[in-house]
Amino acid sequence: MTHHLEIVGTDCAQVGIVRHDTQEWMFFQNYPFIQSELLAHVSACVHPNPKRALITGGFDTQIAFELLKHEDMHVDFVQEDRAMLENLHTFLPQFQETKTHARFKLYDRILDLDLQPYDIIISLSTLNAHQVDGLQRMLAPRGFMVSVAPSPLLEQEAFKDTLKDLQTCAQILMPFNTPYAPTPQIYLFISKHYHPLADMLLQKIDMLDGLRYYNAEIHHAAFAQPQWLKGACARLLKN
């Protein structure tokens, strides 16, 4: 699988853009903590006792670095293009530390994973119906997924199609984004049990040290929905 890296200079330092087919991943040299802190701690601060997490469909190993801050958390990361991971070292400052961590494993393919259920699965690519079906089978009974999603502003039909693909595997299906990010990204919280706001664990959040982005206020703000979105997707969202 061939990925292409483009590095662009901006007023806020370098931006790295990795492209493959229709997928694109963007990295900001000055802000490697925004997506990683949000996805890791929104997930781990909703589930009361997560032990195993899977990250697939992208390159952001900073998410694993953040998840490993939670006691007894084991993280599996699937990415076969290891050369690209090395090329992104400027944008993934804790990559070397993460890949040698005792509770972190890097795999080339999902088929290489051990047959153990995950409490949290994070997909850094938009999922199709086939992928959704496969990943949900890898969840623990109370596990949940977080996934990148198309923009409901710029890709309205693709966003709705993604929601439709998730209807049968979610009792809770809520979009969220990255407040105060240079380029906001849309994600989906996909769960049959835990609710990202009602089950948010404030005590757990308060115990996190050394963060630059995530806190309880950001957690709440990330799930705010504009009125037009509620109207356009009323039958597809599950709040």
Start-to-end C-alpha separation, the chain: 37
Name the residue with higher pLDDT: 90 or 194.
194
pLDDT at residue 64, rounded to an integer: 98
Tell me: the pLDDT tens digits for 2-30?
Answer: 666 676 665 556 777 777 766 777 778 88
Tell me: the pLDDT tens digits for 126-155?
Answer: 988 889 889 999 999 999 999 999 999 889
Looking at the whole model, is its pTM more than 0.85? yes
What CA–CA distance (Å, rounded) separates 42 from 194?
A: 12
CB-based contacts of 153, cutoff 8 Å, min separation 6? none
Average pLDDT, integer, range 157-181: 92
pLDDT at residue 2, rounded to an integer: 60
pLDDT at residue 235, rounded to an integer: 85
145 pairs with which residues across the strands?
A: 121, 190
* Percent with pLDDT over 70 in the chain: 94
What CA–CA distance (Å, rounded) separates 8 from 27?
A: 10
81 is catalytic: no
Q: Which of 21, 20, 38, 24 is nearest to 187 (CA)?
A: 38
Indicate the burial class of 209 (C-beta count within 10 angstroms; 0-12, 13-18, 19 or more): exposed
101 band by pLDDT with thresholds 50, 70 and 90: very high
Q: Which of 186, 203, 208, 46 is nearest to 124 (CA)?
A: 186
pLDDT at residue 1, rounded to an integer: 55
What CA–CA distance (Å, rounded) separates 122 from 187?
A: 10
Range with lowest mean pLDDT among 15-19, 121-125, 135-139, 159-163: 15-19
* Centroid of chain to Cα 238: 19
Residue among 133, 165, 199, 206 flagged as catalytic: 133
Domains of the chain in start order, with CATH, are 31-232 (3.40.50.150)
CB-based contacts of 82, cutoff 8 Å, min separation 6? 106, 108
